[in-house]
Chain A
Amino acid sequence: MRFEHWVSTIALRLRSLFHRGRLGADLDEEVRNHLDNQIADNMSRGMGMEEARLSALRSFGNPLLVRENSRATWSWNYIEQFVHDVRIGLRTLSRSPGFAIVAILMMGIGIGANAAIFTVIRSVLFEPLPYREPDRLVSLFEHQTRPVDAGYSNYLPVAGGNFSEWKKATKDEAQMAIISTWHQYNVSAEGGKLPEKVDAAWCSGNFFSVLGIAPALGRLFIDDDDRPGAAATVLMSDSFWRRRYNSDPGIVGKTVWLDARPFTVIGVLPSSFLYEGKYGGGTDQLWTTANHEAPADFMTSFGERGFVAVARLMPGETLSRLIDRLSAVQHQIKVEHPNPSVSDDVQGRTILEDTVQDYKTPIYILLAATGCVLLIVCLNVAGLMVARNAARSKEHAIRAALGGGLFRLLRERLTESLLVCVAGAGVGLFLAWGALQWLVSVRQDMNRVESIHMDVTVVIFAVFAVGVCALISGTVSAFGSKQRYILASLKESSRAHGGGRTRASLRRALLAVQIGLSVVLLVGAGLLVKSYQRLRSADIGMPIDNVLTMRINLPGARYKKPEDWAAFFEQLIARVRAMPGVEAAGLVSTAPGEGWGGSRMMSVVEHPPLLKGQGFDLLSRGAEPRYFAAAAIPLLSGRSFATAERLERAHVAVLSRSAAQAMFPGEDPIGKHLDDSQGRVYEVIGIVGDTRWYVTEPVHPMVYMPIYGNGYSSATIVVRSSQAVETLAMPIEKFVSQMDADLPVSDVMTIRQATAKSTVDNQFDSLVVLAFAFIGLILASTGLYGVLAYLVTQRTGEIGIRIALGAQRDQVLGMILVDGLRPAFIGLLIGLAVSASTTHLVKKMLYATKPLDPEVFVVVAGMLMASAALACFVPAWRASRLDPMQALRTE
């Protein structure tokens, strides 16, 4: 029955939805007909014209009310009322376009910023990776329970030997694969194309099948490709295939030359493919098989950590169970091989977490910042609406007195704030789109940045934000109106002295909250900016101006013996030194700031032997005799390498200052010997200043040995010049191509550019949070100004009387200033307290800056009070200049 009823009335409902105008006209005609009939009937009973009309009206009742009541029975009535409210809202907003524009723009900024951050969070942190059943995929790492390897965190790469044991032990729990993401190949000049150096990864034969990828062209690796004697095969990325091979559909089966060795292209990966973990991989363009590429002892070593393991859990298996299982295996390996470089534990996390872990904190910090801004915006709009409502209090009181329902008035206000929020969301989505375009273009270094896109969910988010904002600003402002005291406000408006006290106190509370929020934002931004400045001025151990670096990697196929490497490098550096404009030049295996670059366990021969497996973990560098002079790294004692100390005579070492202090406390290291526990002994000949291996990381002890003869086939050229050092890049690259046309030069940049590049995320985070903090401060200050200006207008009469009775102008000034600064001060105190208890959340993002940095807190407090004073001063000054006659006349 219910359903049948519903079906049979739907036509009626639709009619009353779409033909409201006609229905209204019908109703009017119906009422008119009735009255006409009644009049005619009355006249036929002998009444006069006028009498008949009055009598008809009397028996009919109020036609207007009848019409209203009839309409109220129609369906969709609430929609009609809503449309009506919207129309009223639009009219009131268009009557004060200034308010409307300011409020909409503010909402736009607030909602836009939040929509943008929401989009980033969704696309970067939550969107599943483009693999089959990505939630079953985990990344596995080694872990040292004793912090021996201070350079990297708990998530250490995995050694090949350990991985084989893991794989054997967990056959039933997971499918396991490995990848080593940080390799490079020189792709030879071919068919007129330039040689280039390309990032590449070595992976196990099952790597792609474990991820669950299908190739775009050709096939993926199979286990048979992944053995030392297999044919050389390579997979390439979609972008590399498009760029270098013009999307050649016949690429599969062709030969490419990598490091002067022929490889057969077996396939192209889909454009959606991306693997990017803690140890990178996002820039890789080529993939080769690990067992084919890596030396056999590297694949079986338990201590040389060269890979990241990826595992697909079998159904029913969990990550923690797998890690427990693997930890037991690794513990057993440690017992059998008690070498310090062998890990004793295993760590793991989901592959998505592994990809985005480093961005989580900054993104959530940004979310907190935009959330604060949105809240400030809501409170500000609420403040503006309270002010407008105060101006309209008489109107509201009259309407209430005439029977306007409390609910109706509240609904109107909510509709008004809803309109502002909807318009703001429109503006905001547009702003968010622009902001995201900008973000994607400036943060190419961020994992998954290319996956950022706006979609329906973002719009849904915006709608949700609109609802919340409208509710906050609408109800907060409705709180301020005093419907219950109709009489009081009618009386009050005739005599404005001290009027609106309660309402103003609400606005003061709103202000205090706003100011508190902007203080929190400012403190956060201040800490990040300070940390970034510290970072930029961080001493990497050498001057960063006028120093150019470029990397050269000699392919093993053409340069087979250490003699070849030494000959090439010596010839090259001699040519570079002879160039006009070059002040000094040197070679080093890894320049300061360029990265970890390899470490060795060393012990001191002259000291009592340490327990088996103990020693000093030193970063190892190969350096050319004049490198220290070229990089201006101070020689603290002893000497640098001699030209003759090369190849088999290269067993000498220079220690960095921290290494010398750690290994030889209170002794002179010169002349002592270091043992690398692999049968090589080095004589210490000098001590140089410390350099950093990465800008944001602390100094790590370092040992230098001659670059000619200690197994270095790649090197960074460091060139110093007194004039524009960038102009030297081209001529040097020309030398290199004259010596070997297939040899690309990579990473050409000044040290300043290199440090800027490695601090780009800190710069970005600090600037964006700072921008939001300033928006918050400006909003709060204008809010403060608005409230005070309103209060002054309200109190014009009172102030006029005060001045007329002899109050000094500076007394008036002080009175108003104090009135305005009090909420600012309370807000400041709240803000400082909240900041003090929350800044530890950004601790991870700070470099050499404490979360409770007093300088930042003082500066923020000062800045806030200054802008508050400025915002208060204008209305206060205006009040103190009031002409009493004028003021009293405005009554």
Chain B
Amino acid sequence: MSKPSDLVQGTLDLLILKILALEPLHGWALSQRLKQVSGDVLQVSDGSLYPALHKLEEQGWIRSEWKPTENNRRAKFYSLTRLGVRYLEREAANWERISAAISGVLRLTEV
């Protein structure tokens, strides 16, 4: 229900982790960054970020912290944990492998 249909299962998690690996962000900033970096190709409804964030936190990949924002309001910032960093490395490598394999196959059929 919460997952956008055009995102491969688990991809949203990977994207979130990657973005948070660069710098800790709060939910809204994360959604903005997501739109920005994916160039609006990946359509994610803003709301569906939150269940994903809570799940990642529950699994221990990310942690959260209330901190003041630049306009002096309180916001919940998410950052990667040690476990999360390792998980991201592994998953990213996995992704590289799979997508390389898939592209390879696709190229084959084209010829």
Are A69's CB and B2's CB within 8 A?
A: yes
Interface size on A, residues (CB 8 A): 32
Are A31's CB and B50's CB within 8 A?
A: yes
Give the CA-CA distance A75 to B74 in the complex, in Å. Answer: 26
Instruction: Give B110 Cβ to nearest chain A Cβ, in Å.
Output: 37
Count A-B contacts at CB 8 Å: 80
Are A16's CB and B58's CB within 8 A?
A: yes
- Give the nearest-CB partner of A7 in chain B: B60
Question: Does A9 touch B at the CB level, under 8 Å?
Answer: yes
**Binary A-proximity of B1-33 (CB < 8 A = 1, otherwise 0):** 110000000000000000000000011110110
Partner among B51, B58, B74 whose Cβ is within 8 Å of the Cβ of A66:
B51
List residues of chain A with CB within 8 A of the CB of B58: 9, 12-13, 16, 73-75
Partner among A29, A63, A74, A75 whose Cβ is within 8 Å of the Cβ of B47:
A63
Known: A5-B83, A37-B28, A69-B51. A59 touches B46 (CB 8 A): yes
Question: Does B91 touch A at the CB level, under 8 Å?
Answer: no
Question: Does A94 touch B at the CB level, under 8 Å?
Answer: no
List residues of chain A with CB within 8 A of the CB of B53: 70
Question: Does B109 touch A at the CB level, under 8 Å?
Answer: no
Are A69's CB and B1's CB within 8 A?
A: yes
List residues of chain A with CB within 8 A of the CB of B55: 73
Partner among B27, B29, B54, B66 whose Cβ is within 8 Å of the Cβ of A73:
B54
**Binary B-proximity of A18-48 (CB < 8 A = 1, otherwise 0):** 0000000011011101100110010000000
Known: A5-B60, A9-B60. A34 touches B51 (CB 8 A): no
Question: Does B48 touch A at the CB level, under 8 Å?
Answer: yes
Are A34's CB and B54's CB within 8 A?
A: no
Are A38's CB and B46's CB within 8 A?
A: yes
Are A12's CB and B50's CB within 8 A?
A: no
- Give the nearest-CB partner of B26 in chain A: A33
**Binary A-proximity of B41-52 (CB < 8 A = 1, otherwise 0):** 000011110110
Interface size on B, residues (CB 8 A): 28
Are B60's CB and A34's CB within 8 A?
A: no
Partner among A26, A34, A72 whose Cβ is within 8 Å of the Cβ of B46:
A34
Question: Does A60 touch B at the CB level, under 8 Å?
Answer: yes
Are B76's CB and A26's CB within 8 A?
A: yes
Question: Does B73 touch A at the CB level, under 8 Å?
Answer: yes
List residues of chain B with CB within 8 A of the CB of A69: 1-2, 48, 50-51
Are A73's CB and B46's CB within 8 A?
A: no
**Binary B-proximity of A69-101 (CB < 8 A = 1, otherwise 0):** 111111100000000000000000000000000
List residues of chain B with CB within 8 A of the CB of A26: 66, 76
List residues of chain A with CB within 8 A of the CB of B57: 12
Partner among B2, B28, B59, B83 whose Cβ is within 8 Å of the Cβ of A34:
B28
List residues of chain A with CB within 8 A of the CB of B32: 41
Give the CA-CA distance A187 to B45 in the complex, in Å. Answer: 97
List residues of chain A with CB within 8 A of the CB of B31: 34
Question: Does B92 touch A at the CB level, under 8 Å?
Answer: no
List residues of chain A with CB within 8 A of the CB of B76: 26, 29-30, 33
Partner among A33, A72, A73 whose Cβ is within 8 Å of the Cβ of B28:
A33
Give the CA-CA distance A61 to B83 in the complex, in Å. Answer: 31
Partner among A8, A41, A63 whose Cβ is within 8 Å of the Cβ of B83:
A8
Give the CA-CA distance A9 to B76 in the complex, in Å. Answer: 19
Question: Does A62 touch B at the CB level, under 8 Å?
Answer: yes
Question: Does B75 touch A at the CB level, under 8 Å?
Answer: yes
Known: A5-B83, A9-B59, A33-B73. A66 touches B47 (CB 8 A): yes
Give the CA-CA distance A71 to B58 in the complex, in Å. Answer: 11
- Give the nearest-CB partner of B59 in chain A: A9
Question: Does A65 touch B at the CB level, under 8 Å?
Answer: yes
Are A72's CB and B47's CB within 8 A?
A: no
Give the CA-CA distance A529 to B26 in the complex, in Å. Answer: 80
Given contacts A61-B46, A63-B47, 19 further A-B contacts (CB under 8 A): A12-B58, A26-B66, A27-B54, A29-B74, A30-B26, A30-B75, A37-B28, A61-B45, A62-B47, A66-B47, A67-B50, A69-B2, A69-B51, A70-B50, A70-B54, A73-B54, A73-B55, A73-B58, A75-B58
18 interchain pairs (CB within 8 A)?
Answer: A4-B83, A9-B58, A9-B60, A13-B58, A27-B50, A29-B74, A30-B26, A30-B75, A34-B31, A38-B46, A62-B47, A65-B47, A67-B50, A69-B2, A70-B50, A70-B53, A71-B54, A73-B58
Chain B contacts to A: CB under 8 angstroms = 1-2, 26-29, 31-32, 45-48, 50-51, 53-55, 57-60, 66, 73-76, 81, 83
Nearest first, the 4 A-B pairs at minimum CB distance are: A61-B47, A73-B55, A66-B47, A37-B28
